[in-house]
């Protein structure tokens, strides 16, 4: 089944869930801008800057007392600014430097409260990520994320998850720690991101200053794999991301978050053994706005 067929099916499922929901659905939309500072290629004079715009829409439906269904749709536009001193590096002689990478993705999450202690969930995911000018249908990937969390009497939850992804010439199985642990009235340890093609969910230690303002510090491993030409050749950027965060509930529905941090241990690797290049660490920042309905 191609991506062109999967997205309409996901929309039909979304409409069906709305009709059978036992409670009013929860909706949210988000817009995020991520800026990556200049990153030099080790042992080379090449430099790369990236700027990414991300839009997403999420919804959750309570289907029954112990069943919950969620949908997520996203679009990303990542701009690349190259400063290549020697054109043969880091671009293969058969691959021209690209200016823009587009990503379209969707997922469906089904959660079930098994008993008073266990919560299980499964999330099928699909994605297309490709250099602008290529076909979205040639860049499709798919996978599934599953997790099991144990709920303690305190309400804290901890468990394990695993993400299986078949992503453009690379199949991975990635385990991760799933946690939602309230240390006290102010401190909490949790997962700041979703686990999907981009990597594990990460960990964040957060501090709730008051009902409207919170701060956090965390990190994770991030990947972005995308099609770079029509010959089934892909490229992947992998980095370790560490950050600090400040969030403000401007209204009960409107949340603004600012991130600052650095990306380290970066690599740019092509499929088919066309080359792998190490990236110097660089600064990064982001602004995310979320509105809940």
Asked if residue 103 lies in contact with residue 76, where contact means CB atoms within 8 angstroms, the answer is: yes
CATH 3.40.640.10 fits 3-292, yes or no: no
Q: What pLDDT, on a 0 to 100 scale, did the predictor assign at position 46? A: 82
When pLDDT is cut at 50, 70 and 90, the band that residue 1 belongs to is very low
Is residue 250 predicted with pLDDT exceeding 50? yes
pTM tops 0.85: yes
CA neighbor of 180 nearest in space, from 239, 238, 121: 121
> So where are the chain's domains?
3-292
Average pLDDT on 190-210 reads 95
Cα 161 to the center of its chain, rounded Å: 15
- Residue 14: the pLDDT is 54
CB 265 within 8 A of CB 240: yes
Phi, psi dihedrals of residue 171, rounded to the nearest 5°: -105, 130
């Amino acid at each position: 089944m191609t991506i062109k067929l999967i997205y309409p099916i996901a929309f039909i499922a979304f409409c069906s869930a709305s009709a059978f929901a036992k409670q009013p659905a929860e909706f949210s939309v988000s817009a995020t801008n991520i800026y990556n500072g200049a990153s030099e290629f080790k042992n080379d004079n090449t430099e790369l800057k990236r700027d990414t715009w991300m839009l997403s829409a999420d919804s959750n439906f309570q289907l029954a007392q112990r069943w919950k269904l969620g949908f997520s749709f996203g679009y990303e536009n990542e701009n690349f600014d190259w400063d290549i001193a020697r054109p043969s590096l880091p671009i293969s002689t058969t691959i021209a430097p690209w200016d823009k990478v587009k990503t379209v993705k969707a997922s469906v999450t089904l959660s079930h409260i098994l008993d008073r202690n266990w919560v299980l969930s499964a999330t099928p995911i699909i994605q297309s990520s490709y250099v602008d000018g290529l076909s979205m249908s040639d860049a499709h990937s798919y996978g599934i994320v599953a997790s099991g969390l144990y709920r303690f009497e305190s309400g804290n939850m901890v468990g394990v998850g695993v993400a299986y992804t078949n992503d453009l010439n690379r199949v991975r199985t990635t385990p991760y720690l799933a946690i939602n642990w309230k240390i006290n009235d102010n401190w909490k340890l949790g997962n700041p991101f979703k686990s999907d093609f981009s990597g594990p969910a990460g960990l964040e230690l957060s501090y709730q200053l008051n009902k409207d303002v919170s701060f956090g510090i965390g990190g994770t491993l991030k990947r972005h794999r995308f099609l770079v030409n029509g010959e089934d050749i892909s490229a992947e950027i992998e980095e370790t991301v560490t950050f600090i965060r400040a969030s403000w509930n401007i209204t009960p529905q409107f949340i603004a978050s600012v991130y600052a941090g650095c990306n380290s241990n970066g690599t740019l690797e092509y499929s088919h053994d066309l080359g792998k290049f190490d990236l110097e660490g660089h600064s990064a920042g982001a602004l995310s706005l979320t509105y809940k309905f």
